[in-house]
Amino acid sequence: MAQDVTYQTKTYHERGGDRYVMASGGTMAIESGGSIFITNSAQMTVSGTINLLSGGTLSMISGASFGMAGENVAADDIRRILASEQGGTVDIEAVALAAVLSTINLPKNIRMVRLVGSATLVSGSFWLTSVSAGRELFLHLVGDVSGGFTNASTQIDVSLSGCILLGSVGAALSGFEMHTSLASDCGVHLVAVLDNTWSIVSQFGDIDE
């Protein structure tokens, strides 16, 4: 419906009281502490664009649903879908001439993490952190990024911070050890089965749970 040009302001309440109009250039400002509440069965229809500015948040609480392609998708399911689609690969190498990794906490939004050994990294630490249900992680320990080993025995102690870990037989673990040798590397496939709950799905090489 076109704007009624008999009104002089860019925002106005139409005669009859059934519609509030913001014409081109008009703005509705909801200040700090204010809110818009759309009750059950009410609708908000958008044919233009909703812009979420820097620092803004679009929140869907548990139990809410999002209508997509004519079907409702639960907020918790959307979170799991997004978490499972997080990808990317990162190499975490040892600090030069030191026995520690350059990053010791699991990076966000990464599916494949390769921990890279060195001649000095005989024993290092790495931490699994809090996680949303549905995230998948492949943790791989190699001698170097080309897969050739520069140290006959490299060990990484994987510990927990803000999460729990279920081992390959379902028992709770406080962590696990990953070992390389001149003959092979090793790896662990983990999935977050619940919020802040990792589970070991599979493993290869020398893994000590």
pLDDT in tens, 147-158: 556 666 788 999
When pLDDT is cut at 50, 70 and 90, the band that residue 12 belongs to is confident
Q: What is the mean pLDDT of the chain?
A: 80
Q: Which residues pair with 94 in a beta bridge?
A: 101
When pLDDT is cut at 50, 70 and 90, the band that residue 6 belongs to is low
Contacts of 201 (CB under 8 A, 6+ apart): 168, 189, 190, 191
pLDDT at 47: 77
Is pLDDT of 115 > 70? Answer: yes
Contacts of 198 (CB under 8 A, 6+ apart): 128, 131, 137, 163, 164, 165, 166, 190, 191, 192
Cα angle, residue 41 at apex, residues 36 and 45 outer, rounded to 5°: 60
89 burial level (CB within 10 Å; 0-12, 13-18, 19+): exposed
- What's the rounded mean pLDDT across residues 166-182? 89
- What's the rounded mean pLDDT across residues 92-103? 82
May I ask the CATH class of domain 85-208?
A: mainly beta
- What's the rounded mean pLDDT across residues 35-40? 77
Q: Say what the alpha-carbon torsion angle 127, 128, 129, 134 is, to the nearest 10 degrees.
A: 170
